[in-house]
Structure 1
């Protein structure tokens, strides 16, 4: 990593731990900063904070005391999940204390160029595809960010010959100053996290931060099938690389005559791609564009697309039990993701859905319920989903307590040849700490049926 001096002897508050806070605190300590960590979880229940304490880092746990801001901090590194309406953050802004997220640190210390991926849906699949294509092309990639590995921790070990492929949330992108990827991808934009951002415009503004520091030497890959992404790119200085599943493009990534193409060059026949779902063609095209811009040869891209069947919890094939195929799409935390999952299958579907109630209705799902023969609902949104199911004419609808009970209930509604699909259309936080835990419970319940 770069041995930067900009944090030496600076008084810095790391607000909120989890993985990113722990990594950021330890890194800043190495860089010579005077670090204080503040986390809401009590110290006795907080092994992460205890570990930082053992490194000689000051730790304050159990609450977020606003008076802590009077201690003269020059910077706050905020956990992305803490909203900007938090009294500590509002107090920091009133005092003129800058607030960043951990990905800013990653950029500052990284010797490796970055490929950053954001958008509403498809981020994880696209990030994984880019990583796999670069890896197959022997470009020595490292994967980081919202996909599970803390970006600044990866940047610590990255060298000039590596490329860091990083998935970025809107929460992370709100806290950047100089962060600049060599290649940026905006997969798509739809309503999401409005409980955090307040409005769609604020959400879009956060996503657009991925390109705010790019120059004419950088690339911004955008969805040409969405006018909004073009609007977001309008103020970018980067070279715009469009992708489209609907239009043939002279420049960029598109579909032509049954092939995926880049700058009019045929790369691979669509029928040979094993990843299911029309929506995944968007992810494939944007990933291919990033790979081609990174110098990856066609044969490496082809090899990945011949074998890549998807990421865990995103339309993940789990098993076949007595002729029923089970798919885990727990990462579908909004209606658009569930629409894309429903559109991926032609045959009868038993849908498992429900979760955190963010105040939205689900009427946009109704046109895509044509192949849904039965629904099993759970969580806070169960009544809302049952209502739209009834409007769509679904006869078999059952409410259960949780995902574990939903699997045998769905099996009872099904017949050989059916798809049993967990695609909740909601976040998991009413019942589960993460969509990963929800998906793992689904997988366990499927294997119990065997």
Structure 2
């Protein structure tokens, strides 16, 4: 990092601000670029003592000059690498994960995949808690990796025994030297059609997690994954292919090692998540005792097939984190044995794969009604109405009104399959709004 003195951070979201804070501590010459005029950025304590001339709007002509004179770019994951601003950039382009990695002092477990990442990482966090040793959990799950480095350098926290990072394809596009001790891919199905035209593009971004690993490290991925994707398997590392294909085998394996009667999360997919978590935990050197305690204490991740309770005879599940069809299919499989399902779908359209509701065909006997909301719901209604009993209710308040009048049994499953940005700032606000409607 010594050779990088003039550093530009693009995107003043949570990861960008964390990167700026660390770079200030490292005494770097920093420029911050963000969408909108500087006055619209909001009040961020981290930016207050920066040279005000170093705060630049993304569409300001000066921004291109700044980028082209920088030694290093830190790019927020939500911003594509092919934006015009970076067209002639010669400097390395990193994500905040890579910046933190340059100063990391503890072994890292990295996990990626299309669905199940947050649940698996959160379960591993529960294991760390019960192990009773210092740890850090972050990345795409919400806490920037740079926060750990900042706190270590300021003496606020002790060195971690282990670090667990949830990693998105957007983050993995912009790593250079990042090298986890243990890395896993849970699954890969098409997602982020707004960023990737092909499944192979998306999958190649995911497999970047392995690119710097060697025989001293260890990787896990589902058996047959690379053949299914038509990609070459990663090389120069030790690995195990995980057999997810038979859920009975997964369950039997776990039951031979642990008492699962205290498990509070639903669905076959969550058994797979726990299975992967154990494989990583065991290889990392964690104790079986801590893992058992995690099984007994872990509650579902908020807004990921979260059981809100039985309300007037209806079992209500909040899966607001679902932003793709596969996540919704997984949720349906998790609750299909609990009664007829009223499924809530919709959100912001992506433009690619929006009409893939044929994925629901095999669950037709389990779905008694589809309630459609938002931009995607309005798009889907004329396409779905002849194949599924459905109704466009526009908002989650419309869902509440419908359920109060019509539902007296079965399952109400909010698993929207689309991003939240048409009606909400993010999936967390969407999930919170849904919960507040049904839980006073």
TM-score w.r.t. length of structure 1: 0.88
| Structure 2 residues without counterparts, runs of 5 or longer | 153-157
The alpha carbon displacement at 1:368 in A equals 2.0
The alpha carbon displacement at 1:272 in A equals 5.0
1:292 corresponds to: 282
Q: Is the contact between residue 207 and residue 234 of structure 2 (CA under 8 Å) also seen in structure 1?
A: no
Q: Is the contact between residue 341 and residue 412 of structure 2 (CA under 8 Å) also seen in structure 1?
A: yes
Change (3 A) 1:228 1:19: farther
Confirm whether residue 245 of structure 1 aligns to residue 237 of structure 2: no
The alpha carbon displacement at 1:393 in A equals 4.1
Confirm whether residue 340 of structure 1 aligns to residue 330 of structure 2: yes
1:251 corresponds to: none
1:206 corresponds to: 205
The separation in 1 between residues aligned to 2:251 and 2:281, in whole angstroms, is 22
2:126 corresponds to: 132
- Which aligned pairs between 1:184-223 and structure 2 lie closer than 5 A? 184-223=183-222
The alpha carbon displacement at 1:110 in A equals 1.3
2:257 corresponds to: 267
The separation in 2 between residues aligned to 1:431 and 1:186, in whole angstroms, is 31
Confirm whether residue 80 of structure 1 aligns to residue 77 of structure 2: yes
Confirm whether residue 433 of structure 1 aligns to residue 430 of structure 2: no
How well do the aligned residues superpose, as a CA RMSD in angstroms? 2.3
Confirm whether residue 52 of structure 1 aligns to residue 47 of structure 2: yes
| Residues 360-400 of structure 1 deviation map (CA, whole Å, 9 limit, x = unaligned) | 21221222232111221111111454356434443xx2212
SS in 2 for 1:274: coil
The separation in 2 between residues aligned to 1:116 and 1:58, in whole angstroms, is 37
TM-score w.r.t. length of structure 2: 0.90
Change (3 A) 1:259 1:234: closer
SS in 2 for 1:333: coil
SS in 2 for 1:121: coil
SS in 1 for 2:342: strand
The alpha carbon displacement at 1:146 in A equals 0.8
The separation in 2 between residues aligned to 1:335 and 1:125, in whole angstroms, is 18
The separation in 2 between residues aligned to 1:415 and 1:443, in whole angstroms, is 18
2:359 corresponds to: 364
The separation in 2 between residues aligned to 1:156 and 1:63, in whole angstroms, is 26
1:350 corresponds to: 342
1:122 corresponds to: 116
The alpha carbon displacement at 1:51 in A equals 4.0
1:105 corresponds to: 99
The separation in 2 between residues aligned to 1:121 and 1:229, in whole angstroms, is 17
The separation in 2 between residues aligned to 1:198 and 1:48, in whole angstroms, is 37
The alpha carbon displacement at 1:293 in A equals 1.1
Q: Is the contact between residue 244 and residue 285 of structure 1 (CA under 8 Å) also seen in structure 2?
A: no
Q: Is the contact between residue 13 and residue 38 of structure 1 (CA under 8 Å) also seen in structure 2?
A: yes
Change (3 A) 1:444 1:225: farther
Change (3 A) 1:404 1:109: farther
Change (3 A) 1:161 1:37: closer
The separation in 2 between residues aligned to 1:142 and 1:369, in whole angstroms, is 43
Q: Using the TM superposition, name which of 37-46 and 280-289 deviates more.
A: 37-46
Q: Using the TM superposition, name which of 112-121 and 402-411 deviates more.
A: 402-411
Residues matched between the structures, number: 428
